[in-house]
């Protein structure tokens, strides 16, 4: 196809009914503590990766719950799986495992190469 | 048994506060006239199916309140409102809408609250779309044993909107109604319990789980019942071609707008000072606070006292309160009234 230099602008609206939440379902099945996240941002505050990149685990958690997987894919690879986030979470979410499962789910369900 | 007192007290409102105070004052030996505008006592407790945070049946608390006023010293008048209250020296003369004249040594206002009329928030479509209902109407559905939409089917997805008529300058209410966050959580759980296949979403500005076991209930809603919480104030609801409700909100934690279809939208309506209470305030020149409720003499140690000697407050006519706090507040009012009347007696004796 010829490229005329146009691109369509992706709407910023999260369309909940159109989004696909199979990644979320996979996480919930294997790490039920994910339900307890309240989006406080403690994890993102302590995250070493967040100091140098736009990585925010708090944001990833929310986006996963809405089925905004493209953005999650872009962000999640910046995690170094150090586990500091798990230490601070006031709701006892096993955040490190959430990241791990997310990457796994992408591989499995999407056949996406991490 | 304490000795019988000569003094007569008029209590306006036979809800949680009024019944609690009436019962306790009668046990102290005072004669009570309890005035209630509705056809039965119990006030807003009558609206509930189950109570937060423990989801006990509201009937249990109602039974307690009715037990409190089952006392020969309490004379209750139902379907009755206050026509006027006149103060002469230290005494009051209360006229009811039935023309009764009641002399009183003290007045306790336990006039409670009115629910916010959600038609004032037109953007949520209450009164326009059949599947936009209030938290009180949802309790009625729980009572009836079935949660159905206007189409007669169980909803697949329910949205719950927090802060309807509270914390909203647009309707002139700055205050937080305090009890609606936990009500939302309780009702979300009840929906999930009755309809396990139904998704429930709470749209909140802040989760204000101030009371004992409230935060725990919030956790339970997430962990055990899979209730979803989205931080953001719903801006509007509209009906699409299929007759489903489309809501718009900013998912503030994602920093992006979000749209979603729901089959039932439940509005957590806030509470305001009652109209009947405000009329009495005007009549007696009682001060009203910026929140529209009765202004108490001191926020910390005089929150049963009004700016008029002999007039006392109990319960939600002074501020939003849960049942537990209302009962405590009413019991505290009893102590204030009792010591006031005893001090009056001493003055006379001297
Ligand atoms: S495990 Fe990943 S998200 Fe958590 S603190 Fe470490 S780098 Fe950040
Ligand atoms: S610290 Fe825990 S509760 Fe807070 S945003 Fe991160 S995962 Fe969620
Ligand atoms: S208790 Fe919650 S829903 Fe009610 S007014 Fe306060 S913040 Fe809003």
3-state secondary structure of B93: strand
- Nearest CA among B202, B177, B203 for reference residue B187: B202
Residue B3 forms part of a structural domain: no
pLDDT band at A31 (very low <50, low <70, confident <90, very high): very high
Ligand 1 centroid–CA A104 distance in Å is: 16
3-state secondary structure of B62: helix
Contacts of B335 (CB under 8 A, 6+ apart): none
pLDDT of res. A11: 84
Residue B2 forms part of a structural domain: no
User: Do residues B245 and B301 share a domain?
Assistant: no
Residue A58 forms part of a structural domain: yes
pLDDT of res. A113: 47
Q: Please check whether residue A63 touches B, CB under 8 A.
A: yes
- Nearest CA among B113, B270, B122 for reference residue B183: B270
Taking the alpha carbons of B211, B160, A14, A25 in that order, is the dihedral positive or negative?
Answer: positive
pLDDT of res. B258: 98
Residue A62 forms part of a structural domain: yes
Give tens-digit pLDDT for B175-216.
Answer: 999 999 999 999 999 999 999 999 999 999 999 999 999 999
A37 within ligand 2 shell (Cβ under 6 A): yes
pLDDT of res. B347: 80
pLDDT band at B349 (very low <50, low <70, confident <90, very high): confident
Q: Is B240 exposed, middle or buried (0-12, 13-18, 19+ CB in 10 A)?
A: exposed
* CATH number for the domain that contains residue B302: 3.50.50.60
Distance from CA of A1 to the nearest CA of B (A): 32
pLDDT of res. A2: 63
B329 within ligand 3 shell (Cβ under 6 A): no
Angle, vertex CA B134, rays to CA B185 and CA B169, nearest 5: 90
Q: What mean pLDDT comes out for the span B7-24?
A: 98
Residue A93 forms part of a structural domain: yes
In this predicted complex, what is the ipTM? 0.90
User: Do residues B126 and B260 share a domain?
Assistant: yes
Give tens-digit pLDDT for B83-92.
Answer: 999 999 999 9
Ligand 2 atom closest to Cα of residue A40: 4
More confident residue, A5 or B240: B240
Task: Give the chain B residue nearest A62 (alpha carbons).
Answer: B254
User: Do residues B147 and B212 share a domain?
Assistant: yes
Give tens-digit pLDDT for B31-45.
Answer: 999 999 999 999 999
Can you tell me the distance from the alpha carbon of B183 to that of B139, in angstroms, rounded to the nearest whole number?
Answer: 10
Residue at which a domain ends, from B225, B250, B271? B271
Kindly state the DSSP code that residue B103 receives in the 8-state scheme. Answer: E
User: Do residues B298 and B240 share a domain?
Assistant: no
User: Do residues B260 and B287 share a domain?
Assistant: no
Give nearest CA residue, ligand 2 atom 3.
Answer: A37
Task: Give the chain B residue nearest A12 (alpha carbons).
Answer: B256
- Nearest CA among B203, B201, B206 for reference residue B227: B201
Total count of domains within chain A: 1
Residue A15 forms part of a structural domain: no
Q: What mean pLDDT comes out for the span B136-149?
A: 97
Can you tell me the distance from the alpha carbon of A8 to that of B332, in angstroms, rounded to the nearest whole number?
Answer: 66
Domain range for A72 is 37-109
Give tens-digit pLDDT for B144-176.
Answer: 999 999 999 999 999 999 999 999 999 999 999
Q: What mean pLDDT comes out for the span B301-305?
A: 97
Residue A77 forms part of a structural domain: yes
| Average pLDDT for chain A | 91
pLDDT of res. A110: 67
The model's pTM: 0.95
Contacts of B133 (CB under 8 A, 6+ apart): B126, B141, B264, B265, B266, B267
Give tens-digit pLDDT for B101-126.
Answer: 999 999 999 999 999 999 999 999 99
Ligand 3 centroid–CA B322 distance in Å is: 12
Q: How far apart are the first and last CA of chain A?
A: 29
Total count of domains within chain B: 2
Residue at which a domain ends, from B250, B271, B292? B271
Domain range for B220 is 118-271
Can you tell me the distance from the alpha carbon of B220 to that of B334, in angstroms, rounded to the nearest whole number?
Answer: 37
Residue A50 forms part of a structural domain: yes
CB atoms within 10 A of CB B143: 13
In the predicted structure, residue A1 carries a pLDDT above the cut 90:
no
Contacts of B325 (CB under 8 A, 6+ apart): none
């Amino acid at each position: 196809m010829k490229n005329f230099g146009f691109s369509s602008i992706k709407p910023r609206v999260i369309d909940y009914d159109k989004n696909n939440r199979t990644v979320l379902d996979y996480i919930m099945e294997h790490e039920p503590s994910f339900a307890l996240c309240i989006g406080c941002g403690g994890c993102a505050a302590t995250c070493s990766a967040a100091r140098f990149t736009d990585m925010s685990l708090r944001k990833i958690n929310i986006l996963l719950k809405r089925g905004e997987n493209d953005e999650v894919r872009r962000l999640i690879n910046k995690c170094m799986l150090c586990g500091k986030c798990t230490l601070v979470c006031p709701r006892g979410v096993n955040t490190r495992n959430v990241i791990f499962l997310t990457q796994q789910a992408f591989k499995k369900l999407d056949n996406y190469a991490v | 048994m304490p000795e019988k007192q000569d003094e007569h007290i008029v209590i306006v409102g036979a809800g949680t506060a009024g019944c609690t105070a009436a019962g306790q004052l009668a046990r102290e030996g005072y004669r009570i006239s309890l005035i209630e505008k509705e056809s039965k006592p119990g006030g807003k407790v009558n609206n509930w199916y189950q109570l937060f945070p423990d989801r006990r049946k509201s009937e249990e608390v109602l039974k307690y309140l009715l037990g409190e006023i089952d006392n020969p010293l309490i004379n209750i008048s139902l379907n009755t409102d206050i026509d006027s209250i006149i103060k002469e020296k230290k005494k009051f003369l209360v006229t009811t809408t039935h023309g009764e004249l009641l002399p009183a040594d003290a007045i306790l206002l336990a006039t409670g609250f009115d629910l916010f009329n959600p038609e004032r928030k037109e953007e949520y479509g209450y009164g326009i779309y059949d599947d936009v209902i209030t938290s009180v109407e949802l309790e009625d559905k729980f009572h009836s044993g079935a949660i159905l939409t206007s189409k007669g089917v169980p909803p697949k997805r329910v949205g719950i909107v927090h802060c309807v008529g509270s914390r909203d300058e647009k309707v002139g209410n700055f205050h937080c109604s305090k009890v609606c966050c936990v009500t939302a959580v309780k009702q979300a759980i009840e929906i999930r319990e009755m309809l396990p296949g139904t998704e429930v979403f709470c749209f909140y500005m802040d989760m204000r789980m101030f009371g004992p076991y409230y935060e725990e209930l919030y956790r339970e809603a997430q962990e055990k019942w899979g209730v979803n919480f989205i931080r953001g104030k719903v801006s509007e609801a509209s009906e699409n071609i299929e007759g489903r409700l489309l809501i718009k909100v900013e998912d503030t934690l994602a920093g992006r707008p979000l749209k979603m279809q729901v089959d039932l939208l439940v509005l957590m309506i806030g509470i305001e000072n009652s109209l009947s209470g405000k009329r009495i305030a005007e009549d007696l020149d009682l001060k009203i606070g910026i929140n529209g409720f009765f202004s108490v003499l001191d926020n910390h140690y005089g929150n049963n006292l009004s700016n008029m000697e002999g007039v006392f407050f109990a319960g939600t006519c002074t501020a939003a309160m849960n049942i537990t706090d209302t009962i405590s507040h009413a019991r505290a009012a009893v102590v204030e009234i009792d010591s006031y009347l005893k001090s009056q007696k001493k003055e006379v004796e001297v």
